[in-house]
Chains A and B, each alone.
Chain A
Amino acid sequence: MTTLPSSTRRKLGLVIDLDTCVGCHACVVSCKGWNTENYGAPLSDQDPYGAEPSGTFLNRVHSYEVQPDDGTAQLVHFPKSCLHCDNAPCVTVCPTGASYKRQEDGIVLVNEDTCIGCGLCAWACPYGAREMDAAAKVMKKCTLCVDRIYNENLPEVDRVPACVRTCPSNARHFGDLADPDSDVSQLVAARGGMDLMPEQGTAPVNKYLPPRLKDRLDRTEEIDVLAPFLAPVTDQPKGFLGWLDKALDKI
């Protein structure tokens, strides 16, 4: 049944830190690698070495420039995968029951054996988190690496999503957002974690941590309390540079 569960016992999801993401796309690559070899149909590529390569990805990294009213622009790297919404519109539109949200942990999944490839769920998702695979003709989306997080064949340290495990700057965090004491919930509380497109009413489980305040180049003097102590003690270079300096002065 593609009705949504009235509540889920846990809300497993990701917390993505826009402050520390360096835009390296390592999560994109590891996600593609893990998910093309494991759960469901492989993530195909079309014309991968040709003039117009295209393929299915479950996680993509955008980059935005943000220009404050006053001051210099900032660059923000912005990873985006399924947000495992509590009020997931992609689930209720599905005519076959292939799309569903799990009661036990809130993960939103697609049963690829019953998906007819109508594409409606991708239309219902405001975030662009679903992509139809052009080879398998079924809908693909982030599984929250359901085949890793409960997988007892993996060492415990690896029982987190591939993207989280890979991220070199720890910008992706995995946990239970229904538990207020979990690390991820505390991170969200401490850093003002936010929903994307709250007005769409999807109630996403994944949260984004906004970038911290940046230092400003045009105001460095005001804040540089150490500057007086770091002033050069002598204008007179020594050694080779000193000789060069004097020699050049004489010319």
Chain B
Amino acid sequence: MHPAPSIIAFSTLSGLGFGLLFWLGIGMPGSTGLVAFVFFAIAYVLAGGGLIASAFHLGHPERGLLAFTQWRSSWLSREAVCAVATLIIMGLYAVGRVFFAADWFVLGWLGAALSLGTVFTTSMIYTQMKTVPRWYSPLTPALYLTLAIGGGALLAGQVIWALGLLVLASALQLAWWWQGDRAFAASGTTMATATGLGHIGTVRAFEPPHTGPNYLLREMVFVIARKHALKLRIIAFALGYALPLALLLAPFSHWIGLTAVLCHIIGILTSRWLFFAEAEHVVGLYYGKR
């Protein structure tokens, strides 16, 4: 697909933000006062900033409130509900931490659960798409969740947890790439099933319906971004996982911590770019492409 920068930024930054909120909600770190304020401020900028970036992707952001209405059927609507509920509950919890040095732990745990719910619903928006076989896998929510909690641990200074979770996330990332490269063939959707002409012989796209580009080709059959996929995978893996892991093993200092966080963010942005750029929609088959 066409990788829209707003969507890539949203899913990466808000994932980290909600991951951080998860750790803050369960009281790790259990800071109070100014330190707590800084932690919550970072989390809200990331989570809220991501939400605002994604609203820019809409054709009619002014009607955005309607997106809260269909939570019974739509993952996008569930995500909107979860995200706002998280931000409200964690806001109240933050008031306790920052101003009263209090741990209103019921709110905190509820907020932590909602944070994970938000990341999960985000991942399900993609996972539900049977039309994009690469996304249609239980590994997708597993990767999103592990990355959010792992990245959140990195931001929250939970070094041991961050180490373990990043190792797990890197394994999931490799598994996700591995299954993704086979998913289209495994889906069973081909030009023969798309046209129903397979019983006659080999189907080849002879002439497209239009000579110019259209919405479908621009959005779903956008192949240009797939160039350099392997190089980008290596960069994503090195920056997103390997380097932060190495830095975490070094003796701790705030500068090293900051470098690890920045590396991780750039690496995950790259991996998210590939998540969208390499997505192959079955509609491409009607154009003889993928």
With both beta carbons as reference points, the residue of chain A lying nearest to B81 in the complex is identified as A95
Q: Which chain B positions have C-beta within 8 A of A117?
A: 58-60
- A115 shortest CB reach to chain B, Å: 7
Contact check, A123 vs B281: say whether CB atoms are below 8 A apart.
yes
- Say yes or no for B215: interface residue by CB 8 A criterion: yes
Q: Count of B residues near A, CB < 8 Å?
A: 59
Q: Give 1 or 0 for each of A57-94: 1 = CB within 8 Å of chain B CB.
A: 10011111111110001111010100000000100111
List which B247-276 residues lie within 8 A (CB) of chain A: none
Contact check, B128 vs A127: say whether CB atoms are below 8 A apart.
no
CA distance A67 to B206 in the complex (A): 11
Q: Which chain A positions have C-beta within 8 A of B60?
A: 115-117, 137-138
CA distance A62 to B59 in the complex (A): 28
Q: Which chain B positions have C-beta within 8 A of A132?
A: 59, 215, 219
Which of B74, B130, B204: most chain A CB closer than 10 A? B74
List which B56-73 residues lie within 8 A (CB) of chain A: 57-61, 63-64, 66-70, 72-73
Contact check, A76 vs B197: say whether CB atoms are below 8 A apart.
yes
- Say yes or no for B38: interface residue by CB 8 A criterion: no
Q: Contact partner of A131 among B67, B128, B214, CB < 8 A?
A: B214
CA distance A92 to B129 in the complex (A): 11
> A118-B76, A137-B60 given as contacts; is B201 within 8 A of A123 (CB)?
no
Contact check, B201 vs A97: say whether CB atoms are below 8 A apart.
no
Q: Give 1 or 0 for each of A10-24: 1 = CB within 8 Å of chain B CB.
A: 000000001000000
- Say yes or no for A160: interface residue by CB 8 A criterion: no
Which of B76, B199, B200, B205: most chain A CB closer than 10 A? B200
Known: A54-B214, A64-B206, A116-B58. 20 other contacts (CB 8 A): A2-B73, A52-B212, A54-B213, A64-B191, A64-B204, A65-B206, A66-B204, A75-B206, A92-B73, A93-B128, A94-B73, A95-B69, A96-B66, A97-B66, A97-B70, A116-B59, A126-B130, A128-B286, A131-B215, A196-B195
| 27 A–B contacts, CB within 8 A, in A order | A2-B74, A53-B212, A54-B213, A56-B214, A65-B206, A67-B204, A68-B200, A74-B201, A76-B195, A94-B74, A95-B77, A115-B63, A116-B59, A116-B61, A122-B219, A123-B281, A124-B129, A125-B283, A126-B131, A126-B189, A127-B283, A128-B216, A134-B215, A197-B282, A198-B193, A199-B189, A200-B130
- Contact surface of B with A, Cβ cutoff 8 Å: 57-61, 63-64, 66-70, 72-77, 80, 125, 128-132, 187-189, 191, 193-197, 199-216, 219-220, 281-283, 286-287
